[in-house]
Amino acid sequence: MGDLTSCWDEIYKMLVVQFSEIQGSFGRNKTVLEHKYKKFKMMRELEGYVSRHALKFIYDELKCSKTFDFCKDDCGCVQKTSYGLPCACILAMKSKQKMPLVLDIYPHWKRLNVQG
């Protein structure tokens, strides 16, 4: 409760805190790679290029693609169509051919700063 000026001041303070949290999150995305990702060369190549959420999605699909009886028909390509991230069949193919993964990721997941 209060006048417009006092309410605006409180809203501004909340936005400053939220903006700082977002900037901190971007910084962690650029500098910190979780230990579970380090055992996959393909995941290490993505360090600092994509968000942590994208890494988690890719990691889950990579684990699926490494199963013994995985075949392309099992994939469904849901991650590719829903999130713009490589699905299990793409990861399996890239891994076999030793191809880089960075170019196959939708730009939304590569955005690690507020400006651009």
Using the predicted structure, report yes or no on whether residue 1 has a pLDDT greater than 50: yes
| CA-wise closest residue to 109 among 74, 79, 72 | 79
Coil, helix or strand at residue 112:
coil
Q: What is the pLDDT of residues 71-89, one digit of tens each?
A: 777 788 888 888 888 888 8
The answer to whether the beta carbons of residues 86 and 58 sit under 8 Å apart is: yes
Using one digit for the tens of pLDDT, what is the confidence trace for 20-76? 887 777 676 666 667 677 777 777 777 777 777 788 888 888 888 877 666 777 788
Q: What is the pTM of this model?
A: 0.61
Q: Are 90 and 70 in contact (CB under 8 A)?
A: no
